[in-house]
Structure 1
Amino acid sequence: MLTLYGFDVSNYFNMIKLALDIKGVEYKTVTLYPNQTPEYLSKSPMGKVPALETEQGILTETNVILEYLDEAYPDTPLYPGNAFEKAKIKELVKMAELYLELPARRCHSEAFFGQKVDDLTKKEVKRALCKGIEGMARCAQFSPYLTGEQLTAADIVFLYSADLAAAVAGKLFAIDLLEMAPGAKQLMATLNQRQDVIKIAEDRKLANVEFKKYLSSFS
C-alpha cells in the first residue's frame, strides 16, 4: 500500500490526496510537518511534504508524484490524450504553481497568520498574481475544465493553488483574482462540489487546529 507523508493543511499534500481519491488508489497517510530530522531527510531529501512511499522507494515533488501516479495507475488518467495534449496539461500545472501558488505564498504570513509583509513584497506579489491569472486565462479553456471536458491534473493543481492565491489577492489587495479569468469561478465551484474535495476540505479544517498549535510552538 502507498504511504503519503504530509499534513492536511498543506495544499500540495491535498493535491496528491485528491489524485489518489480520483483514481481509487488505496493509501494510508502519516501526518508529518516539513522537518530536517535525519530520519525524514532519508525519505524526503529536502525535508518537504508531500512524500509518497511506494514499493520501489519514495518520491517527492508534487508534479513528479502526480505523473508517477498516472503511469503506475492508468485508470482514470489525469494526463489524458496524445503527446501534445499531455504537454498542455503539464504546462498548466507549471503555470498554476509558478505564477499563482508560489507568488501568493510570499504573502501567506500576512494573509493567514497576521504577520506583516513589507510593502515592496506585496507590490511584487500583486503584480505577479494579476499577470499569472491573466496568463492562465489565455492558456486555459475553462470548458468546463482547464483543458476541456475532462478533469485533469491541471485542475487539481489549479484548485489548490488558485484558492489560496485568490484569498491573498482579496485580503491584501481587494482584488477578485478569479474574476480576471472568465470561467475560473465556475470551475472552482464545480470542483468544490465534488464529494472527495468536500472531504479533503473537512480534513483540512480539522487539521488546522493542530497546525496552529504546531506553529505557536515556534513563537
Structure 2
Amino acid sequence: MIRLCGFSLSNYYNKVKFALLEHEIPFIEETVLASQDDAMLAHSPLGKVPFLITEHGSLCESQAIIEYLAACYPEKQIFSRDPWEAAKEREMMLFVDVHLELTARNLYKQAFFGGTVTDATKGRVEKLLTRYIGGFRRLAQFGPYLRGDRFSVADFSGFVHLPLVGLATQQVYGRDFLVEAGIDWKSYWKAINVRPAAERVTADRKAYMEATRKA
C-alpha cells in the first residue's frame, strides 16, 4: 500500500492527502518532518515533504505525486478526460503552486513563525504577487471552483494554498492581496471544505497544530 510521508501542517502534504482521500485511494500516513538526515535524503533529495513510498521506490514533489496517482488509477479520473480541460487543470495548479504559493512563502517567516523579513524582500514579493495575482484572477473562474462549476484536481492546490497567500499578506502588509484583487478566497475555501475529504484534511491539520502546542 502507498505510504504518504510528511505532516499535516504542510500544505503540499495536504494537497496530496486531499487527492488520495477524495478519490478513495488506499494509503497509510507516516509522520515525517523535513530534515537533512541521510535517511530522509534517500527518499526526498532535498529533505522536503511530502513524499510517497511505493512498491517501486520513493517519489517526491506534490505535482509529480498527483501525476503518478492519475496514471496508476485511471479509473479515478483525477484529471479530466478531455485533453484541453486536463491541460487547463494542470495550468491552474502550476499557477497556484509556483506563482502564488512559492512567492508568498517568502513571507511565512514573519507571517506565521515570529521572524522578520527584510524591506527589500517585502518590496520584491509585493511587486511579484501583484502581478501574479492579476494573472491568476484572469485564469480562475470561481464558479464556485477554480475551473468553473465542476470540482477538479486544480482545487486540491487552491484549497490548501490560497488561505496561506491571503493570510500571509494580511499579516505582513496589513492587507489581503487576494481580497484586494476581488478574490473571495474565504467563500471559495468554505465551498470546498464541505467535502468529506476536505473536512478530514482540515480536522487533521487542526489536531496536529493542537498536539504541537501541547508538546
**Which residue does the alignment assign to 1:120?**
120
- Quote the residue 2:15 is aligned against: 15
2:6 maps to: 6
Matched, 1:107 2:107: yes
What residue in structure 2 maps to residue 139 of structure 1?
139
Q: CA deviation at 1:38?
A: 1.6
Could you tell me how far 1:154 is from its partner in structure 2?
A: 1.2
Does residue 195 (structure 1) correspond to residue 196 (structure 2)? The answer is yes
Q: Report how far residue 112 of structure 1 moved.
A: 0.6
Question: 1: distance between equivalents of 2:11 and 2:96?
Answer: 13
Structure 1 segments of 4 or more deviating over 6 A?
none
Q: Distance in 2 between matches of 1:211 and 1:107?
A: 22
Deviation at 1:96, TM superposition (A): 0.4
How much has 1:155 moved relative to structure 2?
A: 1.0
- Cα 1:213/1:48, change in 2 over 3 Å: farther
With 8-17 and 49-58 compared, the bigger mean Cα shift is at: 49-58
Q: What residue in structure 1 maps to residue 96 of structure 2? A: 96
Q: Do the aligned partners of residues 64 and 149 (structure 1) sit closer, same or farther apart at CA in structure 2, a change above 3 Å counting?
A: same
**Which segment is superposed worse, 101-110 or 146-155?**
146-155
Distance 1:28 1:68 in 2: 17
Residue 213 (structure 1) shift: 8.4
When the two structures are superposed, what TM-score results if normalisation uses the length of structure 1?
0.90
Q: 1:75 to 1:187 in 2, by over 3 A?
A: farther
- Aligned length in residues: 214
The 2-side partners of 1:89 and 1:36 are apart by 33
Q: Go from structure 1 to structure 2 and tell me whether the alpha carbon gap of 1:36 and 1:210 turns closer, same or farther (over 3 Å shift).
A: farther
Q: Indicate conservation of the 8 Å contact 1:129/1:165, yes or no.
A: no
SS in 1 for 2:203: helix
Q: Deviations over 1:21-66 (max 9, x none)?
A: 0110111111011112221211112211100111222111100101
Contact 1:23 1:75 (C-alpha < 8 Å) held by counterparts: no
2:12 is paired with a residue of what secondary structure?
helix
Match of 2:38?
A: 38
CA distance in 2, matches of 1:102, 1:212: 26
Aligned to 2:173: 173
Higher mean alpha-carbon deviation, 143-152 vs 3-12, is at 143-152
SS at match of 1:106: helix
TM score, norm. by length of structure 2: 0.91
Q: Paired residue for 1:152?
A: 152
Unaligned 5+ segments in structure 2 are none
What secondary structure is seen at the aligned counterpart in 2 of 1:52? strand
CA distance in 2, matches of 1:133, 1:112: 21
| Contiguous gaps of at least 5 residues in structure 1 | 215-219
